[in-house]
Chains A and B, each alone.
Chain A
Amino acid sequence: MMRLKTLATVLALAPSLLTPTAGHAAAPAGDPVHGQDIYESRCSACHSIDANRVGPAHRGVYGRKAGSAPGYAYSPALRASRVIWTEATLARWLTNPQAFIPGSRMGFQVAEAQDRADVIAYLKTQTAKK
């Protein structure tokens, strides 16, 4: 009886164990409109979509290799990283950039998972110019 109960518990947990996010909370769906508000109030101190400022320009950042925006002087750590900016890597970066890529210069953290998802959803809309 006990063995059956254990088996049932394992089977019930199996789908979550097999997903790529096993052990982590699933990332919430992002709202690009709210993401733009957050971008303008928090990210735009250092960043613009089309201009390199204190931080690099963000147009086309989604899907780009980290440390590769033209004309921006990155830290050696970011330049040498092999990170490609996806939803997962951007979420880790925004959670704690210096923990994700030690030696990077950005220290700004976005504490809330929903806010991170919204900013990422907004950045996804800022595709590279054709």
Chain B
Amino acid sequence: MHHKITMNAGALNAGLARREALKAGGMGVLSVAAIGILAGEPTMAKAAASSADADILNVALGLEHEAIAAYQIGAESGLLQKPVLDAAVLFQSHHKAHRDALIAAIGKLGGTPVAAKSTSDYVASLDIASVKSQTDVLRLARKLERGAANAYIGVIPSFKNVAYAQISARLAADETMHWTVLTQVLGDALPTQALSFGA
């Protein structure tokens, strides 16, 4: 069953790519994938599609590295009290699982997973100097979680392989769960409008 779905998705992608190739040809611009299809080189087209998907997953991996570092800095800050600290450690473990899944997927696509930056880099780029209380930690974490959820939603249309689009949706769901818990802990109101993420 799973095999059948994969093949259908592959056929759909090939059809769409062929149409894109013809469209692009009319404009005098051909992507590597389009050239591969027109030249009867499906391997070349497949490689370009895999490379594009690996690039998107690598950006996601960068986000996960940043989230892991942010929760680590928060946990070690002495600002978090139990049970908030326990929740932060749990969420960090989710991000570590995301990281590991992304590293595996990027490797499978032939890409090179990006490495995490140094803690001092994250301290500077996340403006940790301005974080003075548990509320500040939670607000920073919530901002990162919302951004990550929206990022995972926003890249879905770009994936060439729908299986990675589905993974992106699953990652967005985890980030949304984190955002919701953090919002409740902060005592803030939930969105009154539907479809509040990805917009």
Contacts and interface: CB of A to CB of B under 8 A. Distances in A.
Interface string A99-130: 10011111111110000000000000000000
B124 A42 contact: no
Nearest to A57: B125
A42 B159 contact: no
Interface residues of B, number: 29
Contacts of B125: 48, 51-53
Interface of B is mostly: helix
Contact of B63 (A54, A106, A107): A54
Interface string A39-54: 0111111101001111
Interface in B47-63: 48, 51-52, 55-56, 58-59, 62-63
B32 A102 contact: yes
Contacts of A98: 52, 55-56, 158
Interface in A69-83: 75
Interface in B13-59: 31-32, 48, 51-52, 55-56, 58-59
B151 A46 contact: yes
Interface of A is mostly: loop
A107 B49 CA distance: 12
Contacts of A111: 157
B158 A107 contact: yes
Interface residues of A, number: 28
Nearest to B122: A53
Contact of B151 (A42, A48, A75, A99): A42
A98 B124 CA distance: 29
A102 B157 CA distance: 15
Nearest to B67: A45
Interface string B121-143: 00011110000000000000001
B150 A107 contact: no
B55 A109 contact: no
B147 A46 contact: yes
B55 A107 contact: yes
Nearest to A94: B154
Q: Please give me the 5 A-B residue pairs with the lowest Cβ-Cβ distance, nearest first.
A: A45-B147, A107-B158, A107-B56, A54-B62, A45-B151
Given A41-B147, A46-B147, 7 more contacts: A42-B154, A43-B147, A45-B150, A52-B125, A98-B55, A98-B56, A107-B52
5 contacts: A41-B147, A42-B147, A98-B52, A104-B55, A107-B52
